[in-house]
Structure 1
Amino acid sequence: MSPAPDRATARRRRQLTTAVKDAVRDLNIQLALLNRRFGSRVELRDVDWTCLDLVNRHGPLSPTELARRAGLHPATLTGILDRLQKAGWLVRERDPESSDRRAVTLRAVRERNAELFEVFAGMNSRMDELCDRYTDAELEVITDFLRRTSTAGGDSAEELAKG
């Protein structure tokens, strides 16, 4: 076997890997822009929206669990929760399971989700159209890639948080 095809194959692999990384960076930029515009439409700061989305997807959550998932210091979270509660996006409920009477659980106000869905309707429609272009097998590969990318991002964020 000659070394030329191996070098060409390795070069092509590096180019494809770089293209994937560039596409993920572009996606990050566009989603950040979308989230900022979305947030201004529903009067939520980026970090508020992140916390609300986490409670909507994984809740109800304790404030400690939300702080962990959002990568926030618990003291920072207090102001965010105050804003979300004041705006009617979430409620703090006493945790009946806890012996600590101060313990609360955060629950999203599901009745408000219609407002979120309305603002994201354009993106949801575009995603449906995009997914229609792929086979089930391709969607499984895309889902796997995105989940692994999310895990890599989370692992990297934790690594940076440790210093």
Structure 2
Amino acid sequence: MAARGVDGSASGEEGRTRSRRIAEAKLSLRELRIELAVLNHRVGSRIEIKDVDFDCLDVITRHGPISPSALARRVGVHLATMTGILDRLEKGGWIVRDRVESDRRAVLIRGVPDKQRDIFRLYDGMNRSLDRILENYSDDEIDLVVDFLRRCTEAGQSATDQLAKGSDP
């Protein structure tokens, strides 16, 4: 059994090895973020959508229908900027603005499913690669990966919320 520090953490070489593993995991997540951002940029370029517009479209299709103000808060842009983004997406046929029956001034934004197929086809290569990668993992290992990614997503959302409120992490 390895020696433990006062706080219960590993000490000595075991602690340094663990620290290196954690640093490598964080670095790997940063590298993944970069590669996914480049992939998303290339997909957006193919369908002639700006990066921020593409991010908004992704949020709309995954979490919509959504109000313009909720979407602006979610992606961190000013509501006036959001109006321009939504105008471009609507002009391109990617979204529809629906009036809320109970409040004629309120609008909900939703994606257009037929247009989403164009985007999904551009991700076929990545999806096939992920299928090949994941087929080498057991169900328990995939569950662990999913749990890790979900928890990383929640940590990212929490950090984003803190920054949006003006507080430091």
- Fold match by TM threshold 0.5: yes
TM-score, normalization: structure 1? 0.92
* Structure 2 spans left out of the alignment, 5+ residues: 5-9
Is 1:139 the counterpart of 2:142? The answer is yes
Alpha-carbon offset, residue 68 of structure 1: 2.2
Is 1:26 the counterpart of 2:23? The answer is no
Is 1:110 the counterpart of 2:113? The answer is yes
Cross-structure match for 1:151: 154
Identity, in percent, stands at 47
TM-score, normalization: structure 2? 0.89
Partner Cα distance (1:156, 1:51) in 2: 19
Letter in structure 1 aligned against 2:150: R
Cross-structure match for 1:130: 133
Kept in 1: contact 2:2–2:14 (CA 8 A): no
Letter in structure 2 aligned against 1:21: K
Alpha-carbon offset, residue 3 of structure 1: 5.2
Aligned residue pairs total 161
* Structure 1 spans left out of the alignment, 5+ residues: none
Cross-structure match for 1:52: 57
Tell me which of the two structures has the higher relative contact order, counting C-alpha pairs closer than 8 angstroms and 6 or more residues apart: 1
RMSD: 1.7
Alpha-carbon offset, residue 153 of structure 1: 1.3
Where in structure 2 are the equivalents of 1:93-108 lying within 5 Å? 93-96=98-101, 98-99=102-103, 101-108=104-111
